[in-house]
Protein backbone atom coordinates (compact mmCIF):
# COMPACT_ATOMS: atom_id res chain seq x y z
CA UNK A 1 0.00 0.00 0.00
CA UNK A 2 1.46 3.34 -1.10
CA UNK A 3 1.61 6.04 1.57
CA UNK A 4 2.36 9.64 0.61
CA UNK A 5 4.37 11.97 2.80
CA UNK A 6 1.24 13.90 3.74
CA UNK A 7 -0.63 10.73 4.68
CA UNK A 8 2.28 9.51 6.75
CA UNK A 9 2.73 12.80 8.57
CA UNK A 10 -0.99 13.04 9.28
CA UNK A 11 -1.14 9.43 10.46
CA UNK A 12 1.81 9.93 12.78
CA UNK A 13 0.41 13.16 14.24
CA UNK A 14 -2.95 11.48 14.87
CA UNK A 15 -1.28 8.60 16.69
CA UNK A 16 0.97 10.91 18.67
CA UNK A 17 -1.95 13.18 19.55
CA UNK A 18 -4.02 10.26 20.84
CA UNK A 19 -1.08 9.05 22.92
CA UNK A 20 -0.48 12.52 24.39
CA UNK A 21 -4.18 12.96 25.23
CA UNK A 22 -4.30 9.57 26.94
CA UNK A 23 -1.13 10.40 28.87
CA UNK A 24 -2.53 13.74 30.04
CA UNK A 25 -5.88 12.18 30.94
CA UNK A 26 -4.37 9.18 32.75
CA UNK A 27 -3.98 10.87 36.18
CA UNK A 28 -7.64 11.91 36.05
CA UNK A 29 -8.60 8.35 35.13
CA UNK A 30 -6.64 7.01 38.10
CA UNK A 31 -8.26 9.56 40.42
CA UNK A 32 -11.71 8.54 39.15
CA UNK A 33 -11.01 4.84 39.76
CA UNK A 34 -9.79 5.60 43.28
CA UNK A 35 -12.89 7.65 43.99
CA UNK A 36 -15.35 5.13 42.54
CA UNK A 37 -13.70 2.15 44.23
CA UNK A 38 -13.73 3.82 47.64
CA UNK A 39 -9.98 3.34 48.00
CA UNK A 40 -9.61 6.93 49.13
CA UNK A 41 -11.24 6.03 52.44
CA UNK A 42 -8.82 3.17 53.14
CA UNK A 43 -5.34 3.95 54.36
CA UNK A 44 -2.69 3.19 51.71
CA UNK A 45 -5.22 1.84 49.23
CA UNK A 46 -5.11 4.90 46.98
CA UNK A 47 -1.39 4.51 46.38
CA UNK A 48 -1.77 0.80 45.73
CA UNK A 49 -4.49 1.37 43.12
CA UNK A 50 -2.46 4.09 41.41
CA UNK A 51 0.59 1.82 41.37
CA UNK A 52 -1.25 -1.14 39.87
CA UNK A 53 -2.98 0.94 37.21
CA UNK A 54 0.25 2.70 36.25
CA UNK A 55 2.39 -0.45 36.23
CA UNK A 56 -0.02 -2.43 34.04
CA UNK A 57 -1.89 0.08 31.89
CA UNK A 58 0.85 2.60 31.02
CA UNK A 59 3.16 -0.04 29.40
CA UNK A 60 0.17 -1.38 27.44
CA UNK A 61 -0.75 2.11 26.21
CA UNK A 62 2.82 2.81 25.12
CA UNK A 63 3.19 -0.57 23.38
CA UNK A 64 -0.05 0.07 21.46
CA UNK A 65 1.43 3.37 20.29
CA UNK A 66 4.60 1.55 19.18
CA UNK A 67 2.68 -1.18 17.35
CA UNK A 68 0.48 1.36 15.57
CA UNK A 69 3.58 2.80 13.88
CA UNK A 70 4.96 -0.43 12.37
CA UNK A 71 2.78 -0.77 9.30
CA UNK A 72 2.47 2.87 8.31
CA UNK A 73 6.23 3.48 8.72
CA UNK A 74 7.16 0.41 6.70
CA UNK A 75 4.68 1.28 3.93
CA UNK A 76 5.92 4.87 3.78
CA UNK A 77 9.53 3.72 3.34
CA UNK A 78 8.53 1.28 0.60
CA UNK A 79 6.48 3.96 -1.15
CA UNK A 80 9.59 6.16 -1.24
CA UNK A 81 11.57 3.40 -2.93
CA UNK A 82 13.82 2.60 0.05
CA UNK A 83 13.95 -0.46 2.26
CA UNK A 84 10.95 -1.07 4.52
CA UNK A 85 13.42 -1.73 7.35
CA UNK A 86 14.19 1.98 7.44
CA UNK A 87 10.55 2.60 8.34
CA UNK A 88 10.59 -0.14 10.98
CA UNK A 89 13.43 1.71 12.72
CA UNK A 90 10.88 4.36 13.78
CA UNK A 91 8.71 2.19 16.09
CA UNK A 92 11.87 0.56 17.44
CA UNK A 93 13.17 4.02 18.36
CA UNK A 94 9.89 4.78 20.11
CA UNK A 95 10.15 1.47 21.95
CA UNK A 96 13.56 2.51 23.25
CA UNK A 97 11.94 5.13 25.48
CA UNK A 98 9.34 2.82 27.00
CA UNK A 99 10.58 3.70 30.50
CA UNK A 100 9.72 7.35 29.76
CA UNK A 101 6.31 6.33 28.41
CA UNK A 102 5.55 4.24 31.49
CA UNK A 103 6.58 6.79 34.11
CA UNK A 104 5.63 10.15 32.57
CA UNK A 105 2.26 11.15 34.00
CA UNK A 106 2.16 8.15 36.35
CA UNK A 107 2.12 7.89 40.14
CA UNK A 108 5.69 8.34 41.46
CA UNK A 109 5.74 4.81 42.88
CA UNK A 110 5.43 3.36 39.35
CA UNK A 111 8.89 4.57 38.41
CA UNK A 112 10.27 3.52 41.78
CA UNK A 113 8.90 -0.01 41.42
CA UNK A 114 10.38 -0.28 37.91
CA UNK A 115 13.77 1.02 38.99
CA UNK A 116 13.35 4.34 37.13
CA UNK A 117 14.49 6.96 39.62
CA UNK A 118 14.19 9.97 37.31
CA UNK A 119 12.69 10.90 33.95
CA UNK A 120 15.49 11.68 31.50
CA UNK A 121 15.31 13.37 28.10
CA UNK A 122 13.53 10.91 25.75
CA UNK A 123 16.30 10.87 23.16
CA UNK A 124 14.98 7.87 21.23
CA UNK A 125 11.47 9.32 21.03
CA UNK A 126 12.86 12.63 19.78
CA UNK A 127 14.91 10.75 17.18
CA UNK A 128 11.72 9.02 16.02
CA UNK A 129 10.04 12.43 15.68
CA UNK A 130 12.90 13.69 13.50
CA UNK A 131 12.81 10.53 11.38
CA UNK A 132 9.04 10.82 10.92
CA UNK A 133 9.35 14.45 9.87
CA UNK A 134 12.07 13.51 7.37
CA UNK A 135 10.03 10.70 5.79
CA UNK A 136 7.04 13.04 5.61
CA UNK A 137 8.90 15.75 3.67
CA UNK A 138 11.08 13.58 1.45
CA UNK A 139 9.68 12.83 -2.03
CA UNK A 140 9.24 9.40 -3.56
CA UNK A 141 12.50 8.39 -5.24
CA UNK A 142 11.09 7.20 -8.54
CA UNK A 143 14.45 7.84 -10.24
CA UNK A 144 18.00 7.18 -9.01
CA UNK A 145 19.25 9.65 -6.42
CA UNK A 146 21.86 12.16 -7.44
CA UNK A 147 25.29 11.78 -5.86
CA UNK A 148 24.89 14.54 -3.25
CA UNK A 149 21.45 13.30 -2.22
CA UNK A 150 22.72 9.76 -1.95
CA UNK A 151 25.66 10.82 0.22
CA UNK A 152 23.37 12.71 2.56
CA UNK A 153 21.00 9.72 2.67
CA UNK A 154 23.87 7.39 3.66
CA UNK A 155 24.92 9.85 6.39
CA UNK A 156 21.30 10.12 7.53
CA UNK A 157 21.07 6.34 7.81
CA UNK A 158 24.28 6.33 9.82
CA UNK A 159 22.81 8.69 12.41
CA UNK A 160 19.58 6.69 12.40
CA UNK A 161 21.35 3.40 13.13
CA UNK A 162 23.53 4.91 15.85
CA UNK A 163 20.48 6.32 17.62
CA UNK A 164 18.66 3.02 17.11
CA UNK A 165 21.59 1.18 18.69
CA UNK A 166 21.36 3.37 21.82
CA UNK A 167 17.59 2.77 21.90
CA UNK A 168 17.87 -1.01 21.72
CA UNK A 169 20.65 -1.17 24.29
CA UNK A 170 18.57 0.89 26.70
CA UNK A 171 15.81 -1.76 26.76
CA UNK A 172 18.24 -4.71 26.85
CA UNK A 173 18.25 -5.02 30.69
CA UNK A 174 14.47 -5.25 30.79
CA UNK A 175 14.42 -7.88 28.03
CA UNK A 176 17.20 -9.83 29.74
CA UNK A 177 15.33 -9.92 33.05
CA UNK A 178 12.16 -10.98 31.26
CA UNK A 179 13.85 -13.87 29.43
CA UNK A 180 16.73 -14.96 31.68
CA UNK A 181 15.76 -13.61 35.09
CA UNK A 182 18.62 -12.59 37.37
CA UNK A 183 21.19 -14.89 35.76
CA UNK A 184 23.98 -13.01 34.08
CA UNK A 185 23.06 -9.69 35.66
CA UNK A 186 26.77 -8.94 36.12
CA UNK A 187 27.31 -8.96 32.35
CA UNK A 188 24.35 -6.65 31.83
CA UNK A 189 25.66 -4.33 34.53
CA UNK A 190 29.04 -4.09 32.81
CA UNK A 191 27.37 -3.51 29.45
CA UNK A 192 25.23 -0.71 30.81
CA UNK A 193 28.26 0.95 32.40
CA UNK A 194 30.04 0.82 29.05
CA UNK A 195 27.01 2.33 27.31
CA UNK A 196 26.76 5.08 29.92
CA UNK A 197 30.42 5.93 29.34
CA UNK A 198 29.85 6.00 25.56
CA UNK A 199 26.85 8.28 26.02
CA UNK A 200 28.99 10.67 28.01
CA UNK A 201 31.65 10.70 25.29
CA UNK A 202 29.20 11.49 22.46
CA UNK A 203 27.10 13.83 24.65
CA UNK A 204 24.00 11.68 24.12
CA UNK A 205 21.27 12.53 23.39
CA UNK A 206 21.95 16.17 22.51
CA UNK A 207 24.88 15.94 20.08
CA UNK A 208 23.57 12.94 18.04
CA UNK A 209 20.08 14.47 17.89
CA UNK A 210 21.41 17.83 16.70
CA UNK A 211 23.49 16.10 14.04
CA UNK A 212 20.54 13.95 12.98
CA UNK A 213 18.27 16.98 12.71
CA UNK A 214 20.82 18.94 10.65
CA UNK A 215 21.44 16.06 8.24
CA UNK A 216 17.68 15.47 7.95
CA UNK A 217 17.10 19.12 7.02
CA UNK A 218 19.93 19.03 4.47
CA UNK A 219 18.60 15.80 2.96
CA UNK A 220 15.10 17.22 2.58
CA UNK A 221 16.40 20.44 1.06
CA UNK A 222 18.67 18.61 -1.38
CA UNK A 223 15.87 16.25 -2.42
CA UNK A 224 13.71 19.27 -3.37
CA UNK A 225 16.32 20.73 -5.72
CA UNK A 226 15.67 20.47 -9.47
CA UNK A 227 17.44 17.45 -10.95
CA UNK A 228 20.52 18.10 -13.07
CA UNK A 229 20.54 14.87 -15.00
CA UNK A 230 21.26 12.32 -12.28
CA UNK A 231 24.55 10.68 -11.35
CA UNK A 232 27.11 9.76 -13.92
CA UNK A 233 28.56 6.34 -14.52
CA UNK A 234 26.99 4.29 -11.75
CA UNK A 235 23.18 4.66 -11.72
CA UNK A 236 22.75 1.03 -10.71
CA UNK A 237 24.34 1.71 -7.32
CA UNK A 238 22.12 4.62 -6.38
CA UNK A 239 19.18 4.27 -4.02
CA UNK A 240 20.36 0.91 -2.77
CA UNK A 241 18.77 -0.24 0.50
CA UNK A 242 20.87 -0.90 3.56
CA UNK A 243 19.17 -4.24 4.26
CA UNK A 244 19.38 -5.89 0.83
CA UNK A 245 16.83 -5.80 -1.95
CA UNK A 246 13.69 -3.72 -1.81
CA UNK A 247 10.66 -5.68 -0.74
CA UNK A 248 7.77 -5.63 -3.21
CA UNK A 249 5.13 -3.05 -2.41
pLDDT at res. 117 = 56
Tens place of pLDDT for every residue, the chain, 249 residues? 789 999 999 999 999 999 999 999 988 998 898 888 887 777 667 878 887 888 788 889 999 999 999 999 999 999 999 999 999 999 999 999 988 888 877 766 565 555 555 667 899 999 999 999 999 999 988 778 888 999 999 999 999 999 999 999 888 876 766 566 556 667 767 777 887 888 898 889 999 999 999 999 999 999 988 776 544 334 443 444 444 444 444
Q: So where are the chain's domains?
A: 5-237
Query: Radius of gyration over alpha carbons of the chain, in Å?
Result: 21
- What is this structure's pTM? 0.83
pLDDT at res. 108 = 60
DSSP assignments along 125-177, one per residue = HHHHHHHHHHHHHSPP--SPPPHHHHHHHHHHHHHHHHHHHHHHHHHHHHHHH
Q: Cα separation of 19 and 62, whole Å?
A: 8
- 225 phi, psi to nearest 5 deg: -70, 150
pLDDT at res. 248 = 44
Amino acid sequence: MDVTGFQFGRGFLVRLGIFVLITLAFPFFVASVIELSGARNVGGASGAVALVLGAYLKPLIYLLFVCSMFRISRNRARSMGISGWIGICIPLLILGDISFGMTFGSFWAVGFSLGVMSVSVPGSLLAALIACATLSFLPEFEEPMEARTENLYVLWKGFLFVLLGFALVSILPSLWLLVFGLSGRGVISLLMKAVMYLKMVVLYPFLPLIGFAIVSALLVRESKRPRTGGTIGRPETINRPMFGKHAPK
